[in-house]
Amino acid sequence: MERKPESLATLPLDTPLHPAYLVAGPELLLVQEAADAIRAQARAQGIGEREIFDADGRDFDWDTLEASFNAPSLFSARRLVEVRLPSGKPGKQGGEAIIAFCANPPPDVILLIIAGDWSKAHQAKWFDAVSRVGVVSIAWAVKPHELSGWIGSRLRARGVRADAGAVRVLAERVEGNLLAAAQEIDKLVLLADDAPLDAERMQSLVANAARYDVFRLADAMLSGQVVQVSRMISGLRAEGDVVAGLMPMLVKELLRAAALARVQSRGGNVGAEMKTQGIWESRQAPFKRALQRHADAARWDRFVAEASHVDRMAKGREAGDAWVAMERLLLAIAEPRALRLLDA
């Protein structure tokens, strides 16, 4: 069966557990909370033993997992076996192991599969097997037009009364960051004093979680988020940041992208190169999108060269407005049609 992640968190702790669960999706907060709810149910029902397997990459030994399924529990009548599958793709052997488990689930094992990356293309035979005997819960990304509804529901669930204006203020402050929204709502539980919130009071109580930092700016640049790039640059400038302090991180990301583009141009393994460069899996998607927009390695070399010009402007070694030059560069990276800005 399928359940929304939010519904798993509201189930009574004595709800009978299913043999298998799959919790997956790009909205990490919802994935985490759904998995925590299953773990809490397991603990409440006397399952004190928990095994964790990180099935990340081709080197994982699925035979070890199958052996665990068949081994007796050491400390309790039942145990929770947790398989962390960041890519959402267990491969042929992994898929067969999961299908075999679901065909004849051991009475003393609850299987919990947690995946970060997910799309409908992931729904293979092993997915169907889990769905038949257990629960599938996909945390799809909350779309911009859905954010206010999500915030309103979470406020109500936490016992905080807020009108539409207050909800809108919080949605604008967190800019789609569910973790930031959840943290602010938890704080509001303590600060609201059971009084209803309007827009003015909400503004006075919540912090500005839409932090304009260089890390988010780099991700917006790579992901092609043109509006966010301009907005974040304006925010950074208003907060008193200086271009010279921002450029080292941006240059680092451009050098990484240039190296990936060279590997891609010669038909190499871009995923392996990302691991070599220490790019976390949660940050790989922006680089992939950037390489789709700008596949030519020479173009990335140009971006790096332009970044050097911006850095020199920021340090007074070259004439020009460093803020304007940086914005033009980042917009050109985010949107190929803006490449003409570099020739302005």
Look at residue 210 in the predicted model and tell me its pLDDT.
47
SS percent in the chain: helix, strand, coil, step 5: 60, 10, 30
Residue among 55, 65, 134, 59 at smallest CA distance from 89: 55
Q: Has residue 95 got a pLDDT over 90?
A: no
Q: Which residues make beta-bridge pairs with 79?
A: 49, 109
Q: Which CATH class is domain 214-343?
A: mainly alpha
- pLDDT for 73 equals 60
> What size, in residues, is the chain?
344
Quick check: 2 pLDDT over 90? no
Domain 144-205 is in which class? mainly alpha
The pLDDT of residue 207 is 60
Answer yes or no: same fold for 5-138 and 144-205: no
Please give the Cα distance from 281 to 58 (Å, whole number). 15
**Span 246-273, pLDDT tens digits:** 898 899 899 999 999 999 999 988 888 8
What's the CA gap between 75 and 47, in Å, rounded?
9
| Mean pLDDT on 90-110 | 86
**Domain map of the chain by residue range?**
5-138, 144-205, 214-343
Average pLDDT, the chain: 85
Whether 98 and 126 have beta carbons less than 8 Å apart is answered as: yes
Q: Across-strand partners of 52? A: 82
The pLDDT tens digits of the residues spanning 6-53 come to 888 888 888 888 999 999 888 888 888 898 899 988 888 888 788 888
Structure-model confidence comparison of residues 135 and 275, the more confident one: 135
Cβ pair 257, 224 in contact under 8 A? no
**What whole-number distance in Å separates Cα of residue 332 and Cα of residue 335?**
5
Residues 6+ apart with CB under 8 A from 208: 173
Confirm or reject CATH 3.10.20.30 for domain 5-138, answering yes or no: no
Instruction: Determine contact, residues 46/73, Cβ cutoff 8 Å.
Output: no
Q: Specify the 3-state DSSP secondary structure of 165.
A: helix
pLDDT of 75: 56
pLDDT at 72: 66
Q: What contacts 187, CB < 8 A, 6 or more positions away? A: 205, 206
Asked whether the predicted pLDDT for residue 209 surpasses 50, the reply is no
